[in-house]
Structure formats: structure tokens, C-alpha cells
Structure 1
């Protein structure tokens, strides 16, 4: 038996299900005229009338009512078949979304280890500012927290109902600078020595700065007086301010997770271990439905292992130094 064109059957099924040409057109992402043309072509092919055109509505003929359930079931089966085929195509592919700074400064430098352990997995990475909760709220986004990714690293409060959630790191800031500043005419030995050095700032224009402490808060916590907390240059992102600190321009309240390589190489040092918390943390999330998928499980276990063993995962313990009682 020769079958009619699939597009004509699809147009009829959608129109019959909705009893509306306009709604069918919206579902199929075509114009109402295109739907009407496909239905007319199908009626000519079959030699029967499928709809009774009544004022302001459509009514199915007995022939249309008879074939609609089987067509609907057939299209549902085709959709399932395509989805199953795609599962084979995507079996070794895992998409991970994360905030840009964490992705570039922490995750990417460690990926060679993941590739060595799991060469069979095609890992795809996406840097998205909307992985930051406060920015997502500001832009009014309402799509899935994963945004089509298999796993996502979110920067927020950890309240993600309906998702499997793992806390990776708390977020905190502490002074960081070039080792050059520990020497010279005014070596940086105590917090009071900050009066001789530029303080580097970053503005809260970027949502990654949300809840961050500033120099006024840090100096107060350290018990330091007589240091102007507002002097020094300001950058519009924490990574720029940390780069300036690495170049010896001053001292920044940096985020050590974003500078683990520079700290390990001695390009940045932490002169004082007093840290202050930032009002958000990093969380790994994914759907319950994919929890046992091989690629998702492999990446989840791998990143949780690295997070547990991250030297800067927790704030350092600060001893008392001079007049500053550094209690975390």
C-alpha cells in the first residue's frame, strides 16, 4: 500500500488532536496556510473528507475519528524510537556547564586527569554566567537549572529542589599578592603593613562578586586601624584584580580556588590567612534520572574526588599575629 506523505499525516494528526489549524501550526512551527495545504493534499490522496468546516471550528468526520488514535500512537512510537537511537549516539557524551571563572581557572587545568581515566567519554564544557544564581535571578530566567546540560556546577545557596545536589566548595576570600611584596622597603609582614601597599578592589558589577567581603570588612575583622580601605585601583571583575596582584600592583582579597596554580607555582602568596566567607558556594547538580548513566557517574565521582582533595577547599586556620586576632 502506498502511504501518503508524512508531512500531510503529521499536519492532520496535530490538527485533529487540537481541533484547530492555528494550534497545529504553532506545534509544528509552520504557518496555518501550510497546515491547511497539507490537509487538503491528504484529503485528495485519500479521496475522503477529514474535517467538517463549521463556523469558527472544525469537526472530525467519522473517517478522521477512526484513524486519529492509531496515528497519534504511531507518531509517539516514532518519537520513542528516535530518542532511543539518540541515546546510542550520546552514550559516551557528557555536557557540563559551569561559571566561566571556575571553569577556566579550576576545572580545565585538571581535565587531563579525567581524560586519562576516561578516554571513552566525550566531555563537552560550556561556560555560562547563568550558572550563577544571582545573575539568573536578575535576568529573570525560568528555564531548567541545568540549561540542557547533563551536569552543572552552580554558584548559589544550594537550594535546588528536584535535583541531586553535591556541595563542592564553600567560597571565601583572603589577601593575596605577589611574593615581591614580602620584600623591599616596606615588606608585608603584618596586616598593619598594608598601609604601605595598594589595595586592589573589584566592583560588584558581576554577579560572581555577590556577597563578597571588601577591604573594610577584612580590616575590621583583622583589628587593623589607620588603613584607608577605599584607596587603590578598582577592576570590574575579580580575575582582573587577581592578575594585577600577581603582577605586583598591590594586594587583593582574592579567591584561592581561582588561583591554585599560581599559588602552587609561587606566583601568588597568601600573606595573612584570615579569610571571610562569600555569600554563596559551588554545587554540582544533575537530574535523578541520569544518576546511573555511565558518563554522568564517571564525571560526578571524578570531580567530587578532586573537590575533596582540593588544598584550598576550606579556609586556612589563622593564628593570632600582632594586634590582629585572626579568628575564622
Structure 2
């Protein structure tokens, strides 16, 4: 890597002059004098040790090196502009950052977001879904609702819902002979060994099949008729309502606990309290 970078101002001056084909027009666009633009270009050429423009009176044109640098500079400045503009999202006065799992965000939260939005249109909710448990002390997160989280420093911890699991599949798969059904395997509680120990019921599950690390993807696979799966009662509510999923037996077993972490700096924020109350009310009806 270069030990020293040319000043950003020289790159801006170069890009404007190259794009407009004129030092004078570049100076007008950047609200500088023409001599200032000329000095910036000379400084950049001295740094690169090669000319970037052919000069003929008042007209200028790019050298081959200038053309090469122009494409690089334009991409760099555009990416920088996008990055700087994106920082504005961290200054939104009504922003509330929620961390959760992709499965919960897609299968439980998304179908209900319209209701929350109608009740609290002023809240600028940012759903930050990750497979990794966040570090609430070092990340800018107000709330975290997950089934794989425990208490953390500087946060309050509360279990909001005790999930249940059950074997299910697409209704069309019930007519397929048991030995021809693919078994969909998940991780942690969604592993069939958990079902075998807790319920002792054989629904035709096999050791081989398709394997998923994401419980949301596991649920999607079951809904499309790929096979039988041990699924979350909480996450599968919408799929059952729409007829994409049907229980294979009435028995359920204990699943993970969904817990809420609230950063201490957010506990007294009205937006955080409103969202927490909405969560509690909706999870209580499950």
C-alpha cells in the first residue's frame, strides 16, 4: 500500500477537470479559482510523477494515465459519497434498533410489522438480523430478541416466550408413503434426537436427509413440501394459518426460550417501551 495518499482535494479537482474537460469549468463547479485547480493538478501529477493532461492553450485533454485514473477516482468518490450519506441513518431522532435472528424477523416479525407501524408510525425501526449473538455493550443496539441469548452487562434480561416444537410438513406430503418422505434436519432443539427423547413418537423421521443450520430456512423447506421437519410453534404460526404447513401429530415438546435484552440506555426511551409492550402483547397471544 502507499505510505501517503494524495490529498482528497486534488482528486476532486482532477475528477471535475477531467469530466468537464476544462480547468475553468472545474473551478466554477468547486467554487475555486482556476489557479487553485491548476495547482491541484500539478501537485497530483508531481505525486504520480507523470502527466495526466495534455495542455494546449486553454483546452486540456486526458493522457492515457489520466483516463485510467479518472475511472478509479470516480468510483472512489462515488463510494465515499454513498458511505457518507449512509451515515445519516445513525442520526435519525426516532430510530430504534432491534437485533433478532433472520428466522424470527422473516417468519414472525415481518407478517406483524404492519400492525406495529399502524400503531406507532413515528418509530423508525431498524431491524438488524444476524445469526451471531450481538455484543450489546459494543454495538449500537437498543433491543435484542433472540432464542440463543443470555444476560449481558448493561442490559436488562427478560424471557418473553417459551416456544414449543412439533413435527410438520406440507399437507400434500401426508399422502406420500412414510418411507418416501425426506427428513429435514435442523440444529439445536430442531434436531430430531430432541424429539425422540422428549416425545418418544416415531413419525417416520430418518437419520439421512437434508440439513439446515437456519431454522427459518428449515421452515421454508417444510412449507414447500421438501420433507418433514421439527419446527417452531412460534415461527410456524403464519404458515399454518395460510395452509402451507400441517402438524403430523398433536404432541409438542419444549423448545427454546425467546428472551429480550434491553440496553440500559434505551430502557426509558418511549419508543423502546412502546415496541416492548407491543412485543409482549403479541407474544402473549401465541
Report the TM range for the smaller structure's normalisation.
0.5 to 0.7
TM-score normalised to the size of structure 2? Answer: 0.59
TM-score normalised to the size of structure 1? Answer: 0.53
Is the Cα–Cα contact under 8 Å of residues 95 and 126 in structure 1 kept in the other structure?
Answer: yes
Deviation at 1:213, TM superposition (A): 4.8
Deviation at 1:157, TM superposition (A): 5.5
1:132-185 deviations in Å (ceiling 9; x for gaps) = xxxx6xxxxxx4357211111133354335422222222342101111133x36
Matched, 1:270 2:268: no
Q: Which runs of 5+ in 1 are unaligned?
A: 1-85, 137-142, 187-193, 203-208, 311-328
- Secondary structure in 2 aligned to 1:200? strand
- Secondary structure in 2 aligned to 1:129? coil
Distance in 2 (CA, whole Å) between partners of 1:220 and 1:287 is 37
Distance in 2 (CA, whole Å) between partners of 1:281 and 1:290 is 22
- Secondary structure in 2 aligned to 1:119? coil
Is the Cα–Cα contact under 8 Å of residues 219 and 229 in structure 1 kept in the other structure?
Answer: no
Matched, 1:197 2:174: no
Aligned-pair RMSD on alpha carbons?
2.8
Distance in 2 (CA, whole Å) between partners of 1:281 and 1:152 is 13
Deviation at 1:118, TM superposition (A): 1.0
Q: Which runs of 5+ in 2 are unaligned?
A: 1-87
Question: Which structure 2 residues correspond to residues 269-308 of structure 1 after superposition, within 5 A?
Answer: 269-278=246-255, 280-308=256-284
**Residue aligning to 2:228:** 251
Is the Cα–Cα contact under 8 Å of residues 174 and 254 in structure 1 kept in the other structure?
Answer: yes
Distance in 2 (CA, whole Å) between partners of 1:248 and 1:226 is 16
**Residue aligning to 2:189:** 212
**Residue aligning to 2:155:** 163
Q: How many residues align?
A: 197
Is the Cα–Cα contact under 8 Å of residues 106 and 216 in structure 2 kept in the other structure?
Answer: no
Distance in 2 (CA, whole Å) between partners of 1:262 and 1:226 is 20
- Secondary structure in 1 aligned to 2:139? coil
Decide which of 120, 136, 150 is 1:118's aligned counterpart.
Answer: 120
Distance in 2 (CA, whole Å) between partners of 1:237 and 1:157 is 16
**Residue aligning to 1:173:** 165
Is the Cα–Cα contact under 8 Å of residues 169 and 281 in structure 1 kept in the other structure?
Answer: yes
Distance in 2 (CA, whole Å) between partners of 1:242 and 1:308 is 22
- Secondary structure in 1 aligned to 2:147? strand
Decide which of 202, 208, 212 is 1:231's aligned counterpart.
Answer: 208
Decide which of 90, 103, 106 is 1:104's aligned counterpart.
Answer: 106
